[in-house]
Amino acid sequence: MSDSKKLSQPEWTLSRLQWDEDMKQCITSTNLIISFQEKQAFLSSSLNLSCLLFSLFFYSSFVIFCTFPTATTHTTRPAQHVSIRCCALTEPDVRPLKMSIDDQPLKTWGHLLNPIDYDTTPFIFTSKAVRFGNRWKEYQGIQNWEGLLDPLDENLRGEILRYGSFVEAAYRSFNFDSSSPAYGACRYPKSTLLDRSGLHQTGYRLTRHLRATSGIQLPSWAEMAPSWVATKSSWIGYVAVCQDKEEIARLGRRDVVIALRGTATGLEWLENIRATLSPLPNAHSKPRHEDSEPMVETGFLSLYTSGTDEVPSLQEMVREEMARVLQAYGDEPMSLTITGHSLGAALATLTAYDIKTTFKRAPMVTVMSFGGPRVGNRSFRSQLEKQGTKVLRIVNSDDLITKVPGFVLEEDAEVSKDRNVYVAGLPNWVHKRVEDTQWVYAEVGRELRLRSRSCPFLKNLNVATCHDLKTYLHLVNYS
């Protein structure tokens, strides 16, 4: 398409982004154009819509933009990715001091998997600190955040942003350079990670690095592939324990944080595609006769439970560290907050389930997830509720990743029909057949729903930026 060609109708363009220098000689940039009429026909079937959303989940790092016709000549703009630079928090009046969006070109193949720059500008927390005292359980969800979400309580807003900054630190600490021998590792040691990733004087001390391992078996020739393809195990987050006495007094308890980043490596990407449901191993409670057994997405379960001879599984690391933490601090008021974005949000939910299942003396467990996909079926949700695990899902209505994988039966959802793919008005025997496909998921926990397109500070939005953690934190800060 020439730069001066006038477009007579909207066209959706998926731009194949720039590859690494070593691949430029054999790969050329191409564009896939899907006409407006073809898009309408494709979306006419709810099954095809589910497939479209599902596909976009795994290609969310491609930049998607729409060109609309006007009376003037249009040109097709090159792919862009966005860096959102500043977010400030002031308590109790939490509002952005400055926001800007800068368009920057894509630099490396590593950015295709995670196309948003996690720049060194930290989220700034100024302290007129809130003392929670005996109300800390209320903000951790003991009453499912009743009366705190609409409108969003200012103290809860501050807590969401505070935990989101721990996830930001996980992104900033990850080595995204696929040409580096240390690709997939953590850039900083435990003693300096929080400070060097922009979180100063938090009162928390990092106690354990966490790694996730893919269970996908690669052929022998894959060892010669680029590191972003062949890396089976990579650093995914950390455990941090509040150690500062003043901060413990302010929070009303000792808080333990598990922070998990989103998808970064090729094998993690492939695990996302394994979107059918698999039974949870060693589920303690058997389902009722009319219910299915607890099941979760196959790829997420694989990343949580897989290990190698050299690297234990994420599950083993979490259990070992939690046993140590409970041994050291189990006799005092304590909370466990597991927070993550995208893939990290899904793994956070699995981690919470596993901890409550494994440890009888587990403290109050809260999940704060940002832009998380669906994780498990209705029985899995029921088990989370019986455990007392509290889940707050922060969802952007314009983020397609929160609408996949699979679909939700209408009877299982307490949200409006335009937010998910539904199968409505089906007799029981059809419901049973649908559930047997292992594609029927259920939403978990409480939802804080936001919308990026209603925020005047966010421009040039596409699939990648609607899903970006920085966008989520801006929306929480602005709402």
Q: How far apart are CA 470 and CA 200, in angstroms?
A: 19
C-alpha 144/C-alpha 331 separation (Å) is 25
Concerning whether 452 is annotated as a catalytic residue, the answer is no
Q: Give the DSSP letter string of 247-272.
A: HHHHHTSEEEEEEE----SHHHHHHH
The one catalytic residue in 60, 302, 306, 342 is 342
Report how far residue 330's alpha carbon sits from residue 325's, in angstroms, rounded to the nearest whole number.
7
Cis status of the peptide bond prior to 294, with omega within 30 of 0: no
Reply yes or no on whether 342 is catalytic: yes
Contacts of residue 391, defined as CB under 8 A and 6 or more positions apart, other chains included, come to 141, 349, 352, 366, 367, 369, 384, 444, 445, 446
Token pair of 324 as six digits: 């140590």
Q: Catalytic: 399?
A: yes
Cα(240)–Cα(328) distance, integer angstroms: 14
Q: Where are the beta strands (DSSP E) in 397-434?
A: 407-409, 422-423
The residues, ordered by sequence, that sit 6+ positions from 327 with a Cβ below 8 Å of its Cβ are none
Q: Which member of 399, 452, 468, 474 is catalytic?
A: 399
Q: Can you say whether the dihedral through the CA atoms of 447, 451, 452, 454 is positive or negative?
A: negative
Helices (H), 116-265: 136-139, 154-173, 193-196, 227-230, 245-251
Within 39-171, strands assigned E span 64-67, 81-84, 88-90, 101-104, 124-126
CB atoms within 10 A of CB 144: 14
State the Cα–Cα distance between residues 60 and 54, nearest whole angstrom.
10
Q: Which of 279, 286, 202, 214 is nearest to 247 (CA)?
A: 202
Token pair belonging to 14: 């998926």
Query: CA 190 → CA 197, 308, 322, 343, distances in Å?
Result: 11, 23, 17, 23
Give me the catalytic one of 234, 467, 468, 474: 467
Strand partners, 64: 14
Angle, vertex CA 111, rays to CA 57 and CA 301, nearest 5: 45
CA torsion 471-472-476-478 (nearest 10°) is: 10
Active site residues: 342, 399, 467
